[in-house]
Structure 1
Amino acid sequence: MKIIDKITAQQGKPFYSLEFFPPKEKDNWGGFIQTVKELEKINPLFASVTYGAGGGTQENTLEITAKVKNECKMETMAHLTCVGADKKKISDFLSRLKQVGVTNILALRGDVPSGQTVDWDKADFKHASDMVAFVKKEFPDFGISVAAYPAPHPEALSFKKDRLDTALKMRVGSDFAVTQLFFDVREYFSLVDDLKALGINMPIIPGVLPIQSLDSIRRILSLSGSNIPGKLYLSLEEAQNKGGVEAVKEAGLKFAIQQIRSLLDGGAPGIHLYTLNRSSMCLNIAEEVGALS
């Protein structure tokens, strides 16, 4: 089933979806699947499973995505990146996904792995929009989503160009978009308004990441190009000074809950929760926002 059909069936009722980062080592898969099953209590509309850039973990991605779909009974969306991909590889991978019952993908340009280079001019897929158009044509029964950036992508030439690129990805065949993490809800609503002005009225699902530590958020911000409001960062530093990492986690949890409430009150169609594979944290958030089934 295409995820967009599940979103449409909600008839405007807010929903939750989850993003998982499966462990690379198969010895850890049992614990991971248990975590996913514990989060069935949230009754997520769908779950997304990250994908190793360059195809290095493609086999693992296929197997673990199938487990989430078939063992945990969640509609599952596999990440698919342009890095290291050509038309044959993508066709083969999509065919195998279909065989295991997964027919939804998140099309991404992807980051080039450290120490590698990519000649984008010679690549079959230079942009995520190229991937979207290919999948739409060759696998029309697949649901397709893309990433959107409340703050521009770190490689974007300009704010305007980033919005135009996002609109293009959606016009060529995407059903909906999921945002990169952000911490200022005004950025999300600005993104939605900008896309509407460009004629894009498809669902834009905000992605929410609960802050776990100052070190982790610094690392994530450096990798994603996102930003954090100064007031929030200072409050996290104050929490660190007073109570250490646990106090930062508590402050991050409270902020995520506040962020979710503000987004839903403002009309966001649902919330895509970056789980960090932490079931207790996610269940705590779900209980506070009234999302437990």
Structure 2
Amino acid sequence: MNLTVDQLHEARRAVDDPLFADLAGDAQISFEFFPPKTEKMEATLWDSVKMLEPLGPRFVSVTYGAGGSTRERTHATVRRIVRETPIKAAAHLTCVDASKAEIEEVISDYWDAGVRHIVALRGDPPRKGDTFETFQPHPDGYKSAADLVAGIKAFKPFEVSVAAYPEVHPEADSAQADLDNLKRKLDAGANRAITQFFFTAENFFRFRDEAAAAGIDAEIVPGILPISNVATTKRIAGMCGAAIPAWMDRLFDGLDALPAARQLISATVAAELCRKLYAGGVREFHFYTLNRAELSYAICHLLGIRPVEEDKTKETAQ
């Protein structure tokens, strides 16, 4: 990674001063949620949305289950965010088990509901146990995320985000093939890429440099996953190709019965990662919240981000 003079100054400041002292609060943030299955989970989700809303996220996204398994719940959650909050909502959309006509109907409904942002993904096929079946395009559907992006853009002028994989998609033939696929998605009209989660800043910086060398100049936003459950994180990481460093595995060892201590360590690890990314010039962060707001809120606070109302109060006082 080739750092600018300003980034070198910021990197030295991160070492010499308290890590989070007087950060400018100039980072932009977004959050991801998944559609709730029960009334209790829905209450937790909406508590989280309301807690994070004052931080002024660029958008919040709502996931789409493997094989389209959460389709209706995703739609309902996105519509409620649009209806009941000022936050811009982004709906995940996949190619799995859907014809072009069905997808056109879905995005038409989103447009009519006021949604202007879609996270376009090829999507995972239905799962058998801990493994996914091989992806098979719908006979009348889109064959890839790049095709889906092009279809969305041809239908309505949505803002479109796509996925990127700093540690290479598990199904990719090679790192170069994975980069080529990312470039196809962006060339098809996507506005930005959001990465799969990772746990070392070097992985992101390396990927960012490789993307630039491949001619990719679009915004690449790091996806941050604060670990709330180590076993779940290991399972997800195994399916998406993300590596958990051995030191992190050891760090959480023995904390299964100590959720408060686990949360403290989780926030510390994720915040340190964000601080290193910030020192390297990153100013956009996307948080995988797992529908819990506390960890993401704490990290945003450490990054200098404050509730919008608080900022307005300060301006008025001056």
User: TM-score by structure 2 length?
Assistant: 0.82
- The residue type paired with residue 83 of structure 1 is V
* Equivalent residue in structure 1 for 2:272, among 258, 266, 269: 258
Matches within 5 A, 1:1-293: 13-25=26-38, 28-115=41-128, 118-120=135-137, 122=139, 124-139=141-156, 141-237=157-253, 240=255, 244-293=258-307
- How far has the Cα of 1:14 moved from its partner? 2.1
- The residue type paired with residue 264 of structure 1 is Y
- How far has the Cα of 1:114 moved from its partner? 1.7
More off after superposition, 20-29 vs 203-212: 20-29
Residue pair 2:119, 2:162 contacting (<8 A) in 1 also = yes
How many aligned residue pairs are there? Answer: 279
The structure-2 alpha-carbon separation of the partners of 1:30 and 1:251, relative to structure 1 and needing over 3 Å to count, comes to: closer
- How far has the Cα of 1:103 moved from its partner? 1.3
Matched residue, 2:316? none
- Tell me the percent identity: 37
Give the Cα–Cα distance (whole angstroms) in 1 for the partners of residues 45 and 265 of structure 2.
Answer: 26
Give the Cα–Cα distance (whole angstroms) in 2 for the partners of residues 121 and 76 of structure 1.
Answer: 27
Describe the superposition over 1:56-84 as per-residue Cα deviations: whole angstroms up to 9, x where unpaired: 33222212101112212111110001111
- How far has the Cα of 1:120 moved from its partner? 3.0
The structure-2 alpha-carbon separation of the partners of 1:118 and 1:257, relative to structure 1 and needing over 3 Å to count, comes to: closer
- How far has the Cα of 1:13 moved from its partner? 4.2
- How far has the Cα of 1:214 moved from its partner? 2.4
- How far has the Cα of 1:137 moved from its partner? 1.4
More off after superposition, 270-279 vs 216-225: 216-225
- How far has the Cα of 1:266 moved from its partner? 0.8
- How far has the Cα of 1:267 moved from its partner? 1.3
- The residue type paired with residue 99 of structure 1 is D
More off after superposition, 169-178 vs 59-68: 59-68
Give the Cα–Cα distance (whole angstroms) in 1 for the partners of residues 216 and 283 of structure 2.
Answer: 15
| Structure with higher RCO (Cα < 8 A, 6+ apart) | 2
Q: Which structure has the larger Rg?
A: 2
Residue pair 1:147, 1:179 contacting (<8 A) in 2 also = yes
Give the Cα–Cα distance (whole angstroms) in 1 for the partners of residues 296 and 251 of structure 2.
Answer: 22
Give the Cα–Cα distance (whole angstroms) in 1 for the partners of residues 124 and 105 of structure 2.
Answer: 22
- How far has the Cα of 1:121 moved from its partner? 7.8
How large is the RMSD of aligned CA atoms in angstroms? Answer: 2.1
Give the Cα–Cα distance (whole angstroms) in 2 for the partners of residues 235 and 204 of structure 1.
Answer: 29
Describe the superposition over 1:188-229 as per-residue Cα deviations: whole angstroms up to 9, x where unpaired: 111111111122111100000001232122222122221112
Residue pair 1:204, 1:268 contacting (<8 A) in 2 also = no
Give the Cα–Cα distance (whole angstroms) in 2 for the partners of residues 129 and 269 of structure 1.
Answer: 26
The structure-2 alpha-carbon separation of the partners of 1:123 and 1:225, relative to structure 1 and needing over 3 Å to count, comes to: farther
Give the Cα–Cα distance (whole angstroms) in 2 for the partners of residues 86 and 25 of structure 1.
Answer: 29
